[in-house]
A and B are shown apart, each in its own frame.
Chain A
Amino acid sequence: MTYTQIGIAVVIAAIVTDVFILRTRLVTRKGFWVSYAIVLFFQLLTNGVLTRLQVFRYSDDVIVGYQPDAAPPFIGSGRIAFQPFEDLLMGFALCLLTCAFWIYWGRRGVQRTPTAGPPIWRTWAAQRHARASAGSGGTASSGSVAAPGSPSTDPSGAGDGEATT
């Protein structure tokens, strides 16, 4: 079997595992596809560097393109960002399979918590709001109106780190 054939088979196997075996169905989740887009961008970048420098060399017989003696083309001859497009098949399968197992074990109750988030800047923003309203709250009546709203978002943001453990 060629790398091309194995790559396609591995993508199908990963999808079958996600949908039918583990039943995690990540391929139906928006969150997975957005995160894969990020992974794909960095694969094109980092694997592009490695294939451009010919750290990886591929047999002409197993890829759609060819392996030149010098640097491979940026695009064309079955290559995208220097790498054989087959590498993208492998990358997708690796990403999907790993994420599916991550979700699978979480669903089984293995360290479902502490859950992700919130980003630290939201905590900082909430703390700034809390400080601002604490400073103005004493004098102005409008400040005391604003105060109850802001601190209520603060504990949910800042406290999450410890509370969900």
Chain B
Amino acid sequence: MELERLTYLGVLLFIFVGSAWLEIALRTRVLRRWKRLLLALAIPFTLFVIWDIWAIATGHWSIDPDRTVGLKAFGIIPVEELIFFVVVPLASILSLEAVRSVRGWPLGDEAPVDSAGGDAR
């Protein structure tokens, strides 16, 4: 296989490696919380893949067959696109938790310590 066909896959690998190191260096603990991660990814993945399939089918955009490995789901969507809609949302969550790790700004999912302290006599 020509190296050119790994172009898209290579960029996806860069995105994954370029964000996954945050899990170790900044202790984002996103991959460790994989159940919550899968729940968070499920709906955006489904919606965006449906959009992508429709857009390719209607001719809104096309993906170069010479720069993808050639595996297609449903005979239309390159496997790289499916990986894209896992790797990019994962990178977004890693980025969000990385900022929280460094700055400590609240994001709205913190344990309700105040109300618990108030309720408990």
Chain A residues within 8 Å of B, Cβ to Cβ = 3, 6, 10, 24-26, 29-32, 34-36, 38-39, 42, 46, 49-50, 53-59, 62, 90-91, 94-95, 97-99, 101-107, 110-121, 160-161
Taking the complex as formed, is B109 at the interface, i.e. its CB lies under 8 A from any CB of chain A? yes
In the assembled complex, the Cα of A77 lies from the Cα of B98 at a distance in Å of 35
Residues of chain B lying within 8 A (CB to CB) of residue A49? 11
Task: Looking at the assembled complex, report how far the CB atom of B26 sits from the nearest CB atom of chain A, in whole angstroms.
Answer: 5
The reply to whether A120 and B60 form a contact with Cβ atoms under 8 Å apart is no
In the assembled complex, the Cα of A94 lies from the Cα of B15 at a distance in Å of 15
Q: List 17 A-B contacts (CB under 8 A).
A: A29-B105, A35-B95, A39-B91, A46-B14, A50-B7, A59-B59, A94-B48, A94-B88, A95-B88, A99-B93, A101-B42, A102-B40, A110-B36, A114-B29, A116-B30, A117-B26, A117-B101
The reply to whether B33 and A111 form a contact with Cβ atoms under 8 Å apart is yes
The reply to whether A107 and B109 form a contact with Cβ atoms under 8 Å apart is yes
Q: A120 and B89 in contact (CB under 8 A), knowing A25-B108, A105-B40?
A: no
Name the prevailing secondary structure of the B interface residues.
helix
Task: Looking at the assembled complex, report how far the CB atom of B97 sits from the nearest CB atom of chain A, in whole angstroms.
Answer: 4
Q: A31 and B99 in contact (CB under 8 A), knowing A99-B92, A103-B107?
A: yes
Taking the complex as formed, is B75 at the interface, i.e. its CB lies under 8 A from any CB of chain A? no
In the assembled complex, the Cα of A80 lies from the Cα of B47 at a distance in Å of 25
Residues of chain A lying within 8 A (CB to CB) of residue B61? 3, 56-59, 62
Task: Looking at the assembled complex, report how far the CB atom of A6 sits from the nearest CB atom of chain B, in whole angstroms.
Answer: 8
Q: Name the one of B55, B60, B92 contacting A39, with C-beta atoms under 8 angstroms.
A: B92
Taking the complex as formed, is B72 at the interface, i.e. its CB lies under 8 A from any CB of chain A? no
The reply to whether B103 and A57 form a contact with Cβ atoms under 8 Å apart is no
Residues of chain B lying within 8 A (CB to CB) of residue A59? 59-61
Q: A119 and B109 in contact (CB under 8 A), knowing A54-B64, A55-B7, A57-B64?
A: no
In the assembled complex, the Cα of A160 lies from the Cα of B29 at a distance in Å of 12
B102 to chain A: closest residue by CB: A119
The reply to whether A120 and B27 form a contact with Cβ atoms under 8 Å apart is yes
The reply to whether B25 and A119 form a contact with Cβ atoms under 8 Å apart is yes
Q: A111 and B35 in contact (CB under 8 A), knowing A99-B92, A116-B28?
A: yes
Residues of chain A lying within 8 A (CB to CB) of residue B106? 29, 31
Task: Looking at the assembled complex, report how far the CB atom of A8 sits from the nearest CB atom of chain B, in whole angstroms.
Answer: 14
Other A-B pairs beyond A59-B59, A110-B35, A117-B27, 14, CB < 8 Å: A25-B108, A29-B108, A31-B107, A32-B96, A34-B99, A36-B95, A38-B95, A55-B64, A106-B36, A111-B36, A112-B109, A115-B29, A116-B97, A116-B101
